[in-house]
Homo-oligomer: A and B are copies of this chain.
Amino acid sequence: MSINPAPRAYQVVLDSIESDLRSGKLALGDQLPGERALAEQHQISRASVRDAIRILDVLGLVKTSTGSGPNSGAVIISNPAAGISQALRMHLAAKGINVREIVESRILLETWAAQMPPRNPLHAQQVIDRTAVLIMRMDDAQLSREEFHRIDAEFHVLLASMAGNTVVESMMESLRHSISHYVAESIPNDESWQPVVRVLRRQHKAIHHAFATNQRERAAQLIEEHITWFYSQTR
């Protein structure tokens, strides 16, 4: 029985950075000190510092690039979808999560966001306009399935952003990307895909119309049906 649960060397760097983020000492767009500098600051090896940076990278919190100058090194970004959706995807593969949980969560978040009165009416109007553009782009018959899914994801994330809640927005971004592999597998050929995509287009337009005419309850209901229907097709 070991009392010491193995304190990892990289943890001190992680803690230090998280603390700096909370206190505002570090903000989006800032550049982290170099790996060699951080190693000396915390009196650990560069390898351990790299562990920490690598973790932040995978979590979508920093973007690293080689070279010198203001855009080099590790720069603070915030791309929650990167880390969280990778985590979800992996756990899906390992059978630690099932699709039901993800669908449930999507319905929860999206219907909530739909029902909420928009926090910023101007932003809401922009969302309605931009989603209209996305709907038109999804009408393009030449669109590859991959591209369709990308725009589809953007459509849903945009709608969810109307409520103006960071937590919900971040999770939405991640959820929508985590299951693309699963979706691609479950509807294998283009013959079965064609009728599906027609229904999806119709549903998207109905949802958009509900938002545009400010029928938020109805929008929520349509979204739930939309998500539920689509996943009923994936078997």
Contacts and interface: CB of A to CB of B under 8 A. Distances in A.
A22 interface: yes
B175 A108 contact: no
A92 interface: yes
Contacts of A61: 90-91, 94, 96
B175 A102 contact: no
Interface residues of A, number: 49
Interface of A: 18, 21-22, 24, 27-28, 47, 51, 54-56, 58-61, 76-80, 83-84, 86-97, 101-102, 104-105, 108-109, 112, 163, 165-168, 170-171, 175
A95 B168 contact: no
Chain A, interface SS category: helix
A1 B152 CA distance: 29
A87 B87 contact: yes
B88 A84 contact: yes
Contact of A171 (B77, B86, B171): B171
